[in-house]
A and B are shown apart, each in its own frame.
Chain A
């Protein structure tokens, strides 16, 4: 059994970090939460570790989101928004990458929570059956949901790009 979890750790750790990163948008925090999910799995020894890990990770990210929202409310009272990137002489390419990442994030946030969850779980490598089990969708509905999520992601990203260009021009 422990070997089983060790194997899942080897194959799934980075996918879990990636999944969490798209929820908390902080690489360090995503790694912390992923490690915490595995630490809990070591204690609980779930029957289906991979599915269990993603459920726990999603819950941890949600708690984290709530906590951060509270913190931000306090912080905005104390200080202004940090300066936008690009004012500290970073190379053009890094700014561009950062801007595109921000647009992907904004586009993801335009999806419905369920569409987003299905897309992120698929991208983390979960098969349709596990995505269905985890989101409460009928297995036959995963493809339809993914199709819609992908289309909306691309559309929202492109609308976001146009807006940025208009604002710049």
Chain B
């Protein structure tokens, strides 16, 4: 096996290698001081990065009970349906109004012939 690349070393240290690949790396490390040194460097880098990330932690507060979240998001659950229903209502209402006006207009224009038809 050729030298172990850095990504594989990190995956190895993160415990993310499949067993077969892991034992290959183990075998190579046993016989390669150079890769053992790089493994130590990778381990130090991971520790350093973890330590830096640990500086950027939020103050930990207890999580509210899950069932409270279930109650809280009612408006979340209904806000889109409501918005949707509102827009449909608006559209239908608007359409109905316009149609109503159109019907009135039509009646107004058709008044003449209708009366005439009644006359004859």
- Which chain A residues have a beta carbon within 8 Å of chain B's beta carbons? 5-6, 9, 13-14, 17-18, 21-22, 27, 30-31, 35-36, 38-40, 42-43, 97, 100-101, 104-105, 107-108, 119, 122-123, 127-128, 140-147, 149-151, 153-154, 157
CB A115 to nearest CB in B, in angstroms, measures: 11
CA distance in complex: A13, B62 (Å): 10
List the count of A-B residue pairs having beta carbons below 8 Å apart. Answer: 108
The 3 closest A-B pairs by CB, nearest first: A144-B7, A143-B11, A39-B73
Write out the residue numbers on chain A whose beta carbons fall within 8 Å of the beta carbon of B70.
39, 42
B56 on interface, CB distance cutoff 8 Å: yes
Residue from B5, B12, B53, B63 in contact with A13 in the complex, judged by beta carbons closer than 8 Å: B63
Residue from A27, A38, A142, A144 in contact with B6 in the complex, judged by beta carbons closer than 8 Å: A144
Write out the residue numbers on chain A whose beta carbons fall within 8 Å of the beta carbon of B63.
9, 13-14, 35
A-B contact pairs, 18 of them (CB 8 A): A14-B60, A22-B53, A36-B73, A38-B69, A42-B70, A43-B73, A43-B77, A104-B53, A104-B56, A128-B11, A143-B8, A146-B10, A146-B11, A147-B9, A150-B10, A150-B48, A154-B45, A154-B48
CA distance in complex: A150, B53 (Å): 10
Write out the residue numbers on chain A whose beta carbons fall within 8 Å of the beta carbon of B7.
140-147
Write out the residue numbers on chain B whose beta carbons fall within 8 Å of the beta carbon of A14.
60, 63
B16 on interface, CB distance cutoff 8 Å: yes
B55 on interface, CB distance cutoff 8 Å: yes
- Which chain B residues have a beta carbon within 8 Å of chain A's beta carbons? 5-12, 14, 16, 42, 45-46, 48-50, 52-53, 55-61, 63-64, 66, 69-70, 72-73, 76-77
Q: Given A31-B61, A128-B11, A147-B6, does the pair A40, B76 have CB atoms closer than 8 Å?
A: yes
